[in-house]
Amino acid sequence: MKIRDGFMLREIAGQWVVVPLGEKVVEFNGIMTLSQSGALLWQVLEKNASEEDLVEVILKEYTIDKETAETDVREFVSIIREKNLIN
Amino acid sequence: MSLRWGELYSQLISGARERKELISASFELTARCNLQCKMCYVSHSVNDLKTKAKELTTAEWIRLAEEARDAGLLFLTLTGGEVFIREDFKTIYEKFMQMGFVIQIYTNGTLLTKDHVNWLASIPPSKVSITLYGASRKTYQEVTGYAEGFDKTIRAIDDLLAKGITTEIKTTVIQGTRYEFDALLDIALQRKLQLGIVNYVSPNRECSHSDPVGNRLSSQELLQYEIHMSEREQQLTAENIKDITKITDAVTEEVMPAKLDVVRLKDTPALAFPCLAGTSAAWVTWDGRLLPCGLLDIPETNPLEKGFKAAWEELKNKCTLIPVCKECQECKYQSLCEHCPARLFRETGYYDQPAPYLCELAQSRSVYKDRMKA
């Protein structure tokens, strides 16, 4: 999985936001905010990663159990897939 | 996780203000304009080659935009003069759209062809904001010196709307448009748009041919205009047509978008600007000066020489030295007054001296309010 080209993750005033670039504003009409962990996952997905990679990153960064990490990752991936933000 | 622009906007703006981080800026791409409006505060002739030679180049604008983005800039307004007279506007805009900004374009609309609109539709800004200088060719001739401008602007608005591009219309209240509110409102309502009202006309920042003060309404005339607006609003509300107008600012509406920005933060020292200017918002002039707001020409810093980030930090520091107008702060009419250091400076030459024009207006509003109550 990889984030599609044409989106930029930016930290604005302490918040993570995803901004569509150029022609992408036509299909992604809006702006998306991400939590700290969402931004971390996004950055990993910019370089291509599997769900297992994402879980691993979350477990490394946060003190949570594997099951919760898997659920959170699945939910995150499902949302950005629904928004057509990943290949 | 996802919010609409408007919902997120307020969150980001208040966050930026608390942290004193840049979030909003206007790039005045040119001071030249094809119109010669009587009340313009910054306009040079389209053929003014001396001015054109001093305008930043394509590469300079792109460099400044990249540096401003790295300093945190998100909301970028492209303004003039008239931005569409720049031959490189398309190049600049397309580059900026790849940088991660939320862009709006201020234009008079007269130069927007169908080709422009088709191009914009393929890479749309968050908003195109068009100023209408009257509701007829006759008024356009009187205010801008260009009668055909009216037809061209209306055509541009309709083309933009037909392509689904978010479009805003506003008008500036001056002697020439004083009796045109109803006709302008009709133009807006027919298109299901709000009509933005720029009710404050500032003295010149730089412009040789205009006379803003000589063409603006007196405080009494402006009050009468506002009363008429309010009556029309009430009448239309009774017909279930709401939110037909909003008072806006000629220079940069996005800097003060919501009430929360006007409320001073309790734990911060009293900053003179009630808006984001000099705290989280800035203005880059056509010749590359960084200012807190387009009405002012001081304090300024030089982003081309120092780099944008350093120039922005220097500007913020300079802005903390701008004195607050104590008399205004203690004035009983303050809630009815739209004073700010930029307006006071343009009106009086001082940041902290009450401006008779604004004082009279606030006082007139208060008298009217009391009369209505009675």
Lowest-pLDDT range of A1-10, B40-49, B191-200: B40-49
Cα–Cα nearest to B81, from B31, B146, B29:
B31
Question: What is the tens place of the pLDDT at every residue in A29-77?
Answer: 778 899 999 999 999 999 999 999 999 999 999 999 999 999 999 999 9
At residue A16, does pLDDT exceed 80?
Answer: yes
Would you state the pLDDT for residue B5? 62
- Which strand (E) or helix (H) includes residue B300? none
Give A21's contacts in chain B (Cβ within 8 Å): 97-100
Question: Do B172 and B257 lie in a common domain?
Answer: yes
Mean pLDDT of chain B: 90
Domain count, chain A: 1
Question: Do B10 and B89 lie in a common domain?
Answer: yes
Would you state the pLDDT for residue B264? 40
Average pLDDT over residues B360-364: 95
Would you state the pLDDT for residue B4? 58
Q: Look-up: residue for tokens 């720029």?
A: B198
B102 vs A31, A32, A79: nearest CB: A31
Which of A10, A12, A24 best tests the B interface by mutation, with the highest count of B CBs <10 A? Answer: A12
SS3 of B7, please?
A: helix
Do the domain assignments include residue A1? no
Query: Which residue would you say has higher pLDDT here, B2 or B348?
Result: B348
Distance from CA of B57 to the nearest CA of A (A): 22
pLDDT bin (cut points 50, 70, 90) of residue B267 is very low
Residue A5 CA to its chain's centroid (Å): 13
Question: What is the tens place of the pLDDT at every residue in B128-166?
Answer: 999 999 999 999 999 999 999 999 999 999 999 999 999
Question: Do B289 and B338 lie in a common domain?
Answer: no
Query: Which residue would you say has higher pLDDT here, B8 or B168?
Result: B168
Would you state the pLDDT for residue B268? 47
Cα–Cα nearest to B92, from B50, B125, B117, B53:
B125
Question: Do B43 and B126 lie in a common domain?
Answer: yes
Would you state the pLDDT for residue B250? 59
Range of the domain at A68: 7-82
Does B165 lie at the interface with A, CB-CB under 8 angstroms? no
SS3 of B26, please?
A: strand
Long-range contacts (CB closer than 8 Å, 24 or more residues apart) made by B143-149: B143/B37, B143/B38, B143/B39, B143/B174, B143/B176, B143/B177, B144/B35, B144/B36, B144/B37, B144/B108, B145/B35, B145/B36, B145/B37, B146/B34, B146/B35, B146/B36, B146/B110, B148/B110, B149/B35, B149/B108, B149/B110
A15 vs B12, B94, B102: nearest CB: B12
pLDDT bin (cut points 50, 70, 90) of residue B261 is very low
Do the domain assignments include residue A41? yes
CB B82 within 8 A of CB B32: yes
Report the C-alpha gap between B299 and B292 in whole angstroms: 7
The structure tokens listed for B242 are 């709401």
CB B248 within 8 A of CB B130: no
Question: Do B231 and B277 lie in a common domain?
Answer: yes
Report the C-alpha gap between B23 and B10 in whole angstroms: 12
Beta carbon pairs, A and B, within 8 Å? 69
Give A77's contacts in chain B (Cβ within 8 Å): none
Residue B100: is the preceding peptide bond cis (ω within 30°)?
no
Give B99's contacts in chain A (Cβ within 8 Å): 8, 21
Question: Do B265 and B360 lie in a common domain?
Answer: no
Report the C-alpha gap between B79 and B251 in whole angstroms: 9
The reply to whether residue A17 touches residue B74, judged by beta carbons under 8 angstroms, is yes
Do the domain assignments include residue A87? no
CB B315 within 8 A of CB B278: yes
B123 vs A19, A23, A33: nearest CB: A23
Average pLDDT over residues B80-94: 96
Question: What is the tens place of the pLDDT at every residue in B286-331?
Answer: 999 999 999 998 999 999 999 999 999 999 999 999 999 999 999 9
Question: Do B209 and B337 lie in a common domain?
Answer: no
Pick the residue from chain B with its C-alpha nearest to A19.
B100
Would you state the pLDDT for residue A27? 83
Give A34's contacts in chain B (Cβ within 8 Å): 1
Would you state the pLDDT for residue B306? 96
Range of the domain at B295: 5-320
Pick the residue from chain A with its C-alpha nearest to B21.
A13
Phi and psi, residue B195, nearest 5°: -105, 120
Do the domain assignments include residue A77? yes
Do the domain assignments include residue A62? yes
At residue B242, does pLDDT exceed 90?
Answer: no
Which of B4, B7, B8 best tests the A interface by mutation, with the highest count of A CBs <10 A? Answer: B8
- Out of B278, B296, B320, pick the residue that ends a domain: B320
Give B18's contacts in chain A (Cβ within 8 Å): 13
Domain count, chain B: 2
**CA-based torsion, B127, B133, B137, B140: positive or negative:** negative
- Out of B300, B320, B340, pick the residue that ends a domain: B320
Question: Do B105 and B202 lie in a common domain?
Answer: yes
The reply to whether residue A23 touches residue B100, judged by beta carbons under 8 angstroms, is no
The reply to whether residue A13 touches residue B23, judged by beta carbons under 8 angstroms, is yes
pLDDT bin (cut points 50, 70, 90) of residue B66 is very high
Question: Do B191 and B297 lie in a common domain?
Answer: yes
Report the C-alpha gap between B177 and B133 in whole angstroms: 7
At residue B332, does pLDDT exceed 80?
Answer: yes
Question: Do B265 and B210 lie in a common domain?
Answer: yes
Question: Do B239 and B363 lie in a common domain?
Answer: no
Would you state the pLDDT for residue B256? 39
CATH number at residue B191: 3.20.20.70
3 state SS for B112-161: CCHHHHHHHHHCCCCEEEEEECCCCHHHHHHHHCCCHHHHHHHHHHHHHH
Provide the percentage of residues in chain B whose pLDDT is more than 90. Answer: 79
State whether ipTM is beyond 0.90. Answer: yes
Question: What is the tens place of the pLDDT at every residue in B96-128?
Answer: 999 999 999 999 999 999 999 999 999 999 999
Query: Which residues are B167's β-sheet partners?
Result: B128
Which of A9, A17, A31 best tests the B interface by mutation, with the highest count of B CBs <10 A? Answer: A31
Would you state the pLDDT for residue B184? 97
Question: Do B255 and B292 lie in a common domain?
Answer: yes
